[in-house]
Amino acid sequence: MSESIYANVNADGIYEMDGEDREEMTCDANADTIKSHDVRRRTKNQTPQHTGSDCVKISSRAAAVCLMLLFVLLLTAVIVLCVQLFTNIDLFQFKSKNIIEERELLTKITNLTEERDKLLSKNKNLTNERDGLLSKNDNLTKQRDQLNQERNELVKTLNETDGWLYYKFSFYFISYEKKSWTESRKYCTERGADLIIINNREEQEFIRTVTSGNIVWIGLTDNDEEGVWKWVDGSTLTSGSWEPGEPNNKISNEDCAVSIFDWADYPCNYTFVWICEKDLEV
């Protein structure tokens, strides 16, 4: 048959079938067409049938896909939670830091407020002290001015009066006439003074010098109570500069004191010169 096939090839290389071959091929083609059509019809009309192994494979794939999706979801959730956690941690640390700084600032403000209050209190106290000192200074200034005025007036008055001596903040008047102790004191008091009060040994030496040892009345007497000698200002004599054996009340009623070189008691009605004294406070 191959020989006949090759024999039917024409000069142009085109295979030419004879009638018998043509019929045979036509029948084969029709048969194949009918067979293919029948197969399609059967395939279309029949429901696909799966075996058990095919179902297991499909279920495994579906489970794997679900697990993968679940893993992806879990991973995404973990990532989101971690990001949120770290964000919250940072926020917490930031807030904690702010709270600590705020507390420190409040502590500093409290301390500064306390220091300010203390300084204000000190300033108030210093202001009060300053005002008190200024008031005292004003009072002292007024007193000084008043004393200076009194001193100037006294100096003027004494300068206009003969016989007055100035010695250590006191003025002394030594009389030239003689009077009793009572009359001598009256003379002094009428001039704003009094009989001399001898306060110390230095003043006694001054009196001795200016009187040249003459007998002079001083402001000392025991008229109120025998033996209790008092100065004209009412103070009691505690220690004195008596002559030896004095006071002795020798001739009775020797109740007034004189100064010679030291002191002695004499009757108050005797007449002697006297010394008036007026203190000058500066």
Same-domain check for residues 118 and 151: yes
Same domain, 186 and 242: yes
CA-to-CA distance for 11 and 113, rounded, in angstroms?
126
Q: What is the pLDDT of residue 160?
A: 59
Residue ending a domain, among 131, 160, 189, is 160
- Please check whether residues 71 and 23 belong to one and the same domain: no
Return the CATH number at 217. 3.10.100.10
Give the total number of structural domains in the chain.
Answer: 3
Q: What is the DSSP string of 105-157?
A: HHHHHHHHHHHHHHHHHHHHHHHHHHHHHHHHHHHHHHHHHHHHHHHHHHHHH
For the chain, the first-to-last Cα distance in angstroms comes to 175
Helix-strand-coil split of the chain, %, nearest 5: 55, 15, 30
**Inside any domain, residue 47:** no
Asked if 201 contacts 241 with a C-beta cutoff of 8 angstroms, the reply is: yes
Confirm whether 170 is domain-assigned. yes
Is 48 a residue whose pLDDT tops 90?
no
What tokens does 249 get?
């009340």
pLDDT score for 5 = 42
Is the pLDDT at 109 greater than 90? The verdict is: yes
Rounded to two decimals, what is the model's pTM? 0.46
Residue 49 lies in a domain: no
* pLDDT over threshold 90, residue 186: yes
271 shares a domain with 177: yes
Same structural domain, 216 and 131? no
Candidates 140, 153, 142; CA nearest to 280 is 153
Query: What pLDDT does 281 receive?
Result: 57
The 10 Å CB-count burial string (b at 16+, else e) for 61-92 is eeeeeeeeeeeeeeeeeeeeeeeeeeeeeeee
For residue range 240-268, list pLDDT tens digits in order.
889 898 888 888 889 999 998 889 999 99
> Do 147 and 196 lie in a common domain?
no
Alpha-carbon gap, residue 219 to 181, rounded angstroms: 9
Q: How high does pLDDT run on average in the chain?
A: 81
Domain that holds residue 14: 2-42
Whether residue 37 is predicted with pLDDT greater than 70 in this model: the reply is no
Residue 215 lies in a domain: yes
Do the bridges between strand 230-231 and strand 164-166 make them parallel or antiparallel, or are there none, so unpaired? unpaired
Instruction: Print burial letters for 155-170: b (CB count within 10 Å at least 16), e (below 16).
Output: eeebeeeeebeeeeeb
**5-14, 53-62, 215-224: range with highest mean pLDDT:** 215-224
Please tell me whether residues 225 and 253 are part of one structural domain: yes
Residue 7 shares a structural domain with residue 113 = no
Q: Model confidence over 119-176: pLDDT tens digits?
A: 999 999 999 999 999 999 999 999 999 888 887 777 776 665 667 888 888 889 999 8
Both 125 and 109 in one domain: the answer is: yes
Question: Which distant-in-sequence residues (6+ apart) come within 8 Å of 223 by Cβ?
Answer: 255, 256, 268
Supply 65's token pair.
């896909």
Is the peptide bond prior to 244 cis by the omega test (within 30 degrees of 0)?
no
| Domain-located, residue 83 | yes
Distance, C-alpha 255 to centroid of its chain: 70
137 shares its domain with 215: no
Q: Are 193 and 278 in contact (CB under 8 A)?
A: yes
- Considering the domain architecture, whether residues 71 and 93 belong to the same structural domain is answered as yes
Identify whether residues 145 and 171 lie together within a single domain: no
**Based on the number of CB atoms within 10 Å of its own CB, is 19 exposed (0-12), middle (13-18) or buried (19 or more)?**
exposed
